[in-house]
A and B are shown apart, each in its own frame.
Chain A
């Protein structure tokens, strides 16, 4: 038992940490090559992302949509459905919620709730389009979800460029008008961006942890992801699981978009979800976390901090902010090496005498 726990701890915590350190090391090498002192830069970077109230608030606010889209991806991936369309689903959810907020006679907190419900439903339905194509015509979910990201981004951009465009802007900004003050999330101070939407996001992530580990849906989707034949044999309806999972994944993406709009931006802005890359950062966070929502939360905050710190770095030290991207990509790369390694080991384990057994174990 002890040995087992120890090994699990090493798998879940130590390996991502090693990947993170290795990623930072690569970043340091790049900085050395470009003639910057990495220690100074990292010091600056992490102070600016985690240890100054203003930046910490920025980090937390940015982590909210990241952790939500990460969990959205995890929902689908753990069931074996590779959803890469979180970004597109965010566009749809965000736009629909904004339209509702602007053009329906609603206000205050219940108006927000309605908009969230609408945005999530729309995003869920949008996620079901590629699901249906996969189910009916065997069109690869990976490709259709990915491609729809680009298509839907342009469609939503059309709305803010023409029918919904805020005429008050400087003529350059393509964005909708702002939603009513009564429907926005509560901001704690004027000095920074921190607002109550972050707590809502964390609550939802916790809720998803519960769903993953304690519910029938969580169990069925996990088993389907691990071995769909076993799931079928045990009486799990694969079609139902597929549609439920993808709808939930879409709804969570939509939720992420609403959090960003009602908590931070207060309007739909041209390409607001493709330029920020929340969906992809979220995807990385959940990959590092190995689909675990709690760890996804932790890594989302870390990656958001890396972004914020990277931006600050550009201003103060003069290191291009892309360094943060390099580090982030390297971490993901190192984590996927670990995943690959595990995968290889799995294959190796399958081959030599599974019968006979590598572990007798004691009761």
Chain B
């Protein structure tokens, strides 16, 4: 790609970017949200038109009007949100669009299945062609997505934030797959926020910031520190966590039990507490009951046994509003599913859970000036970048959406906060910012329950750590006792001896 430029109105998303990819090479593209890396990839994959510049494939100039053209030129993309039909089998999804036919019209299922098996063998990625996508865990779905792209016969594969949705084990598998694909002669572009992954697999890295190409360098000549410095434009401080005295419990969960669909309880006799001035981390591979725990604590799910006491009030199985009123705010785990209404404006999203307060609303009628003021203050304090407060929130980047949600919940100034995956899938600048805000809240003497599948995040912030496995608390550590190995072992269902 040569001198690619793309503007949205006054905003320059890509300013004369050059990108070269050698055959059989893994190129990582890193940058903060809004740096323009997604735009660049959308242009390469034919999803966006560019204003000026040129795309050359094997020395030939190409113009893509749609992903279809890109695929024909040998460029495929593994999307972050999978483009699969859940009710169909893996094989059906993989051959979709290029189905083997019988007598010219009928779908040849057997041949499809064989082709998929052959494909699996060639690239050493194994799946059962006849399994339904709906029944596959996320990691496997991603593998199906990769196979689908490979089936299209592409030579260049773009991976867009591929590890954002995966568990640590699945990430390992994925990185291995990416390396195998390189061995097989494919060229790969990897877009990611996670610099450790870049160090692990990439040959070269390209850093972007604010629509500019900052630097392209071989991986051997750089470090995580240098990359993050280039991405953010300033140095990130390594943080010292202040020691502060901790008060009485602000959250007490006793014998919490939630029945599952089968024999096993989804949550089984969960006991935990959070003190004022304390961040308590819950580590665990996602899907071990963390989501359900959050939903029980916030009043969305009703549980069968046990009690939840927040701020000295028994709020077991109370309504969402009552629990919020008792002094609990919540940064939800999935910002798109729970955390915002995509088409609503920034103001409408920012005032959720605040709007009933008397300064924003009287007799059921909004005080327009105050609501707008409140939303703008919130966004200013948390450095949300936007062009108009009447913008739909879906126009913001993931990091900015998350900052808005964190702003909204921290502005509740509640004595207790649930922070679930507060930094999933966002760039390190935003992660750093959110972490500092959480620590600031802790220093004010509020209690925080931090649920994260990112172990490094748990270790960076928590005073105490619980490990969840299969709906149970598998262990509890103070920060001093906890090590990666011990916590990791419990997360995988192991036991500690002595």
- Chain A positions near chain B (C-beta within 8 angstroms): 1, 3-5, 8, 214-217, 219, 222-223, 226-227, 229-235, 237, 346, 348-363
Known: A230-B339, A352-B45. A237 touches B386 (CB 8 A): no
Mask of B33-50 contacts with A, CB within 8 angstroms, 1/0: 111111101100101000
- Inter-chain contact B164/A355, CB cutoff 8 Å: yes
- Inter-chain contact B11/A359, CB cutoff 8 Å: yes
- Inter-chain contact A351/B161, CB cutoff 8 Å: no
Q: B191 is contacted by which of A3, A229, A356 (Cβ under 8 Å)?
A: A356
Q: Which residues on the A side are within 8 Å of B397 (C-beta)?
A: 354-360
B102 within 8 A of A: no
Closest to A362 in B: B387
Known: A352-B38, A352-B47, A356-B161. A361 touches B365 (CB 8 A): no
B16 within 8 A of A: no
- Inter-chain contact B319/A235, CB cutoff 8 Å: yes
Question: What is the minimal beta-carbon distance from A27 to any residue of chain B, in angstroms?
Answer: 33
User: Using a Cβ–Cβ cut-off of 8 Å, how many residues does chain B contribute to the interface with A?
Assistant: 72
Tell me the bound Cα distance from A312 to B348 in angstroms. Answer: 46
Tell me the bound Cα distance from A222 to B343 in angstroms. Answer: 10
Tell me the bound Cα distance from A217 to B355 in angstroms. Answer: 11
- Inter-chain contact B45/A217, CB cutoff 8 Å: no
Question: What is the minimal beta-carbon distance from B209 to any residue of chain A, in angstroms?
Answer: 11
Closest to B352 in A: A234
Chain B at the A interface: SS class: loop
Q: Which residues on the A side are within 8 Å of B80 (C-beta)?
A: 351-355
Question: What is the minimal beta-carbon distance from A7 to any residue of chain B, in angstroms?
Answer: 9
Q: B324 is contacted by which of A235, A351, A357, A363 (Cβ under 8 Å)?
A: A235
Closest to A226 in B: B341
Residue pairs across A and B with CB atoms within 8 Å: the count is: 172
- Inter-chain contact A359/B38, CB cutoff 8 Å: no
Closest to B294 in A: A233
Q: Which residues on the B side are within 8 Å of A360 (C-beta)?
A: 11, 13, 33-34, 36, 210-211, 385, 397
Question: What is the minimal beta-carbon distance from B444 to any residue of chain A, in angstroms?
Answer: 23
Q: List 14 A-B contacts (CB under 8 A).
A: A4-B388, A214-B366, A215-B364, A229-B337, A346-B342, A352-B79, A353-B41, A353-B42, A354-B80, A356-B34, A357-B400, A360-B33, A361-B34, A363-B380
- Inter-chain contact B352/A237, CB cutoff 8 Å: no
Q: B386 is contacted by which of A349, A351, A358, A363 (Cβ under 8 Å)?
A: A363
Q: B81 is contacted by which of A234, A351, A356 (Cβ under 8 Å)?
A: A351
Q: Which residues on the A side are within 8 Å of B338 (C-beta)?
A: 229-230, 233
Question: What is the minimal beta-carbon distance from A47 to any residue of chain B, in angstroms?
Answer: 40
Q: Which residues on the B side are within 8 Å of A231 (C-beta)?
A: 341
Q: B344 is contacted by which of A222, A357, A363 (Cβ under 8 Å)?
A: A222
Q: Which residues on the A side are within 8 Å of B41 (C-beta)?
A: 352-353
Question: What is the minimal beta-carbon distance from A240 to any residue of chain B, in angstroms?
Answer: 10
Q: B47 is contacted by which of A235, A348, A361 (Cβ under 8 Å)?
A: A348
Tell me the bound Cα distance from A356 to B83 in angstroms. Answer: 18
- Inter-chain contact A233/B298, CB cutoff 8 Å: yes
Additional 17 contacts, C-beta under 8 A, given A233-B300, A356-B160: A4-B387, A214-B365, A216-B356, A223-B344, A226-B343, A232-B320, A233-B320, A351-B80, A352-B45, A353-B41, A354-B81, A354-B397, A355-B33, A356-B161, A357-B34, A360-B36, A361-B387
- Inter-chain contact B319/A237, CB cutoff 8 Å: yes
Q: Which residues on the B side are within 8 Å of A217 (C-beta)?
A: 364
B447 within 8 A of A: no
From residue 369 to 418 of chain B, which have CB atoms closer than 8 A to chain A? Answer: 380, 385-388, 390-391, 394-400
Taking each of B193, B341, B355, which has the highest tally of chain A beta carbons within 10 Å of its own beta carbon? B341
